[in-house]
Amino acid sequence: MSAPMLYHYSENGIYLFPSPANPSPLEEGVWLYPARSTEIAPPVIPDGKCAVWNGSGWDIQDMPELTESKYTPEEKDEFIEGLMEGLGV
């Protein structure tokens, strides 16, 4: 049985990336579903738009404007490394 594809979104519901689910180390045939992920694929996203998870499906919205980050580039790199390691990528 192949791993289900999961679609991850931010705490604001904005679609981030896909990844296969990881198998449970405790139960054979059981897949782990991280927080803020769904098996429902987002639709095609037009330029200048983003997909936003609404709790049961995806909405297409205008891309939010970027604001100045409160995090340093080093803090961002550490976060991304930890996220990727947690996802097994």
pLDDT tens across 5-31, in order?
999 999 999 999 999 999 999 999 999
- DSSP for residue 24: P
Task: Tell whether the torsion through CA atoms of 7, 9, 15 and 17 is positive or negative.
Answer: negative
3-state DSSP assignment of residue 30 = coil
* 33-76 pLDDT per residue, tens: 999 999 999 999 999 999 999 999 999 999 888 777 777 888 88
In the structure encoding, which two tokens stand for residue 80, read together?
């991304």
Q: Would the pLDDT of 4 be above 90?
A: yes
Q: What is the pLDDT of residue 54?
A: 97
